[in-house]
Structure formats: C-alpha cells, structure tokens
C-alpha cells in the first residue's frame, strides 16, 4: 500500500473483533516500524506498554469511559515516554558514530534539556505523536484498523501500568480488525484555515 | 512507495539543494496529507506556517543555530498549534454529522479542555507529531528528504512569525532535495529497552 493511500484510508475505528488474535510477528513489525520514527537528538524517549493481560484491559476500560476498543482490540498500546531519557546514558544514542560527533552530541543533549521540565514534556508528546503515526500507517498497510485515544483518566491508567514517576503517558493506541465502518469525517477545515504564509496576521 | 519502505528509508537530512524549487501542487499535496492526521475530538489544532520569504528564513536561521537547512530547504514549515482551537466554534469540527452526535461532542470537547492548560499544550505537541510524520512520509514517497528540527530558539522564532499568544510552536520541518547522504543511525535501542509488557517493573 502506498503512503498516500494509507494516510487517506486511515480512520479511527471504535469497534474491533474481540476474537481476532494478532501474531507476535505482526506486533514486532508494528513496534519495529514505530522505532524508526525520529526523536530529537536520537533520544528515543518513547516507551510502548503492550497491554495483554485481559484483567488489566478490563481495569483500564473502567477508567477509559468504558470504550469497547480497550478490551476488544487485538493490540492495546499505552504510548508513554521517559521524561529523563536524555540523561540516562545518552552516549548509547550515539554509540555508532565517530567519537568527535559523540563528544559534541552528548553535552548538547544535556544542555538542551537540563532544568527544562516543560521542554522535556513537550518532547515526550511530540515523539509519541511521530511514532504513533508511523505505527498507525504500518497497521493500515497490514490490513488493520487503529484508534488513537486520549479519552481516559491518565492518572488512573498510570497507576494501573505502574508508570514510573519520571515517565508520562501521551495517548493510547488500539489496533485490530475493525467490524464497523468508521463514522463519516466530522468536518474538515479548509487549508486556508490551517496554513499560514510567513507570519500570522 | 509502500509504507514500510517510506518509514525505513526516511532519515533526517541536513544538506539541501538551495536551487531546487518545490511546486505549489506538491506543497498542497504535502499539507493536504498532513491534514488527514487524526486529532483528538477532531479539533484540528495544527497550524502550518510556510516560510517562503527569504529574508525571514535568514532571520530564523540566525536563531536556529545557523543550520543551513533553514534557508536551503525547498519548504520550511513551522509546525504550530492553536491551544484554544477547542473553544473556537467547535461545532464546525462536527458539522457533517447528525445533530445528536454533534450535540454530544461539542460539550464533551469543552469539558475535556476547559481550565486544563497542560492538557491543551500536550494536545498541541501530540497533534503536530502525528501530522508531521504523515507529512514526512508523504515527502519521502514524493522523492523528497526531510528534517524535523527543534534546535532553535522557540521564543525568537515565535516573534519572527508573529505567533499569537494562544498558539505554540511544536517543531520545524524542512523539506527538500537532499544533497548529502544522511549520517549512519546513531545507535538504536533494542526493542526490550523500549517495549514494556503490561506494567513497568
């Protein structure tokens, strides 16, 4: 499937076949493609929590507006990020380059993030967005439907997955076999409402 | 180009052919595909600032670590978001659905965002990440290279593009004809460093 078709045909689907099982190979492929998404300074700050345990899915559903995709999707991912990835052995993000490049990058990473809590959080959300789109388009190509979600109690889901204090949830992503057509598009803005030339006016 | 190839072959490129001109048709295609990216409650909060003015590009380059892609790329986008998109005539995001659906969605949007500054900002970063990846993969398919950037002075760029007080910059995106091969990948994490089963431990 080409990129254009994948983007245009991807729609958020809410009803999934609960009997469908996704294979380990497919899951590996989906996560592997997400890991090709770019991150600033290559800090790879995303952490993908794959929720397999049916009891845990039920608990999450209770704090996610009782949405059926939480339990019925073949794959449920909580897209998280480590806010402190930048300071956890950052030399590993540049281990394959020449020493002078690494010796430049590692202090630059520190300098960029140290003491800047909002910058760290913005990076978390941004990285998960980039990776999430790669994952959804890969799923589309594999014949799956997806549903990105932020309609849930973030704190409650964080507790359920034992989210570390220095991590944050960006959104959840359900992947599976859709069993209902998506709703028609709600109302798309025109390009001139979204695209700005040079400066806002 | 299929999705898998687009994702695997996309690399951040820093050196672009300054003589290459991108056509209006191509720009429209790129932005149109980005606008298919999902947003929470369909609020379509992204705003894409297309910087054409060469003098403005030069000014931005000065506050972007003098990186050449700012002036040399065929297309420079400042990926912004309107933090208050959720309260600006939200009924337009659901104008094409039946009244009962719209009457449910519009108050739900208000309820989700009202008074929650961090939630609004997280949504801005997430939406731009999702749209940015769609745009980069579309560019890849069209034979272009891209470079997502957050190495710049956000406040200074905001002033240069007259960013409204209720908007925020997520990142910049350069698109053009690459003239140097990308650096080798810096050092990719293994899946078991990134993927968590059910709960963090």
Say if CB B170 and CB B82 are below 8 A apart: no
pLDDT (0 to 100) of residue A168? 98
Asked if B192 is an interface residue toward chain A (Cβ–Cβ < 8 A), one would say no
> Are B2 and A3 in contact (CB < 8 Å)?
yes
The whole-chain average pLDDT of chain B stands at: 97
Region A3-21: what's the mean pLDDT? 97
pLDDT at residue B197, rounded to an integer? 98
Q: What per-residue confidence (pLDDT) applies to B183?
A: 82
- Is residue A19 helix, strand or coil? coil
ipTM entry? 0.98
Residue A79 has what pLDDT?
A: 98
The percentage of chain B sitting over the pLDDT mark of 90, rounded to a whole number, equals 98
Q: What percent of chain A clears pLDDT 90, i.e. is strictly above it?
A: 98
> Rounded distance, CA B188 to CA A120, Å?
20
CA B114 to chain centre: 24
Question: Above pLDDT 70, what percent of chain A?
Answer: 100
Give yes or no for A179 touching B (CB within 8 A).
Answer: no
**Domain boundaries A3-194, corresponding CATH code:** 3.40.109.10
Q: What is the pLDDT of residue B194?
A: 98
Instruction: Tell me which of A40, A41, A130, A183 to substitute to probe the interface with B (most B C-beta atoms closer than 10 Å).
Output: A130
Q: How many CB atoms lie within 10 A of CB B62?
A: 13
On chain A, the residues whose CB falls within 8 A of the CB of B107 are: none
CA-to-CA distance for B148 and A38, rounded, in angstroms? Answer: 8
- Which of A97, A184, A197 has its CB closest to that of B50? A197
Average pLDDT, chain A: 97
- Quick one: pLDDT at residue B1? 93
pLDDT of residue A184: 86
Q: What does the pLDDT average to over A66-82?
A: 98
Q: Does residue A170 belong to the interface with chain B, where contact is any CB pair within 8 Å?
A: yes
Query: How far is residue B108 from each of residues A65, B43, B104, B114, measured CA to CA in Å?
Result: 12, 12, 6, 10
Contact status of A47 with chain B (Cβ, < 8 Å): yes
Q: A77-106: per-residue pLDDT in tens?
A: 999 999 999 999 999 999 999 999 999 999
Smallest Cα distance from A198 to chain B, Å: 4
Q: Does B61 touch chain A (CB under 8 A)?
A: no
**Distant-in-sequence, close-in-space partners of B95: CB < 8 Å, separation ≥ 6:** A186, A187, B102
Measured CA to CA, the distance from residue B37 to residue A133 in angstroms comes to 8
What pLDDT does residue A183 have? Answer: 82
Model confidence over A142-196: pLDDT tens digits? 999 999 999 999 999 999 999 999 999 999 999 999 999 888 899 999 999 999 9
Does any CB of chain B come closer than 8 Å to the CB of residue A89? no
Which residues in chain B show pLDDT less than 70? none
Tell me whether A22 touches chain B (CB under 8 Å). no
pLDDT of residue A100: 95
Predicted confidence at residue B125, as pLDDT, reads 98
* CB nearest to A3's CB, from B50, B105, B141: B141
Yes or no, beta carbons of A191 and B56 under 8 Å apart? no
């Amino acid at each position: 499937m080409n990129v254009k078709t994948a983007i245009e045909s991807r729609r958020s689907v809410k009803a999934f076949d609960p009997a469908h099982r996704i294979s380990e190979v497919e899951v590996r492929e989906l996560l592997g493609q997400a890991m090709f998404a770019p991150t600033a300074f290559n800090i790879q700050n995303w952490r993908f929590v794959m929720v397999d345990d049916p009891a845990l899915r039920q608990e999450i559903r209770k704090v996610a507006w009782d949405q059926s995709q939480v339990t019925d999707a073949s794959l449920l991912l909580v897209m998280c990020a480590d806010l402190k990835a930048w300071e956890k052995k950052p030399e590993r993000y540049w281990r394959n380059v020449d020493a002078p490049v690494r010796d430049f990058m590692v202090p630059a990473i520190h300098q960029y993030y140290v003491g800047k809590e909002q910058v760290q959080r913005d990076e978390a959300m941004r990285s998960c967005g980039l990776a999430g789109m790669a994952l959804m388009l890969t799923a589309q190509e594999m014949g799956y439907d997806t549903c990105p979600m932020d309609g849930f109690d973030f704190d409650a889901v964080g507790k359920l997955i034992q989210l570390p204090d220095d991590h944050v949830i960006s959104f959840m992503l359900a992947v599976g076999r859709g069993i209902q057509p998506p709703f028609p598009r709600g109302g798309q803005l025109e390009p001139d409402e979204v695209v700005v030339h040079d400066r806002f006016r």
